[in-house]
Amino acid sequence: VVESFDLMFSVAQSLSENFSCSLLDENRNLLTKQMLEHMRNESQEFQRQRLANAS
Domain assignment of residue 25, given as a range:
2-54
Task: Note the pLDDT tens digit of each residue in 1-55.
Answer: 899 999 999 999 999 999 999 999 999 999 999 999 999 999 999 999 999 999 7
pLDDT at 10: 98
Q: pTM for this one?
A: 0.81
Q: Residue 25 carries which DSSP code?
A: -
- Nearest Cα neighbor of 25 from 43, 11, 37 is 37
Task: Note the pLDDT tens digit of each residue in 35-49.
Answer: 999 999 999 999 999
pLDDT at 55: 78
Q: CA distances (Å), 21 to each of 6, 15, 33, 54, in order?
A: 19, 8, 16, 40
Structural domain count, the chain: 1
Q: Residue 29 carries which DSSP code?
A: S
For residue 16, count CB atoms less than 10 angstroms from its CB and return exposed for 0-12, middle for 13-18, buried for 19 or more.
middle
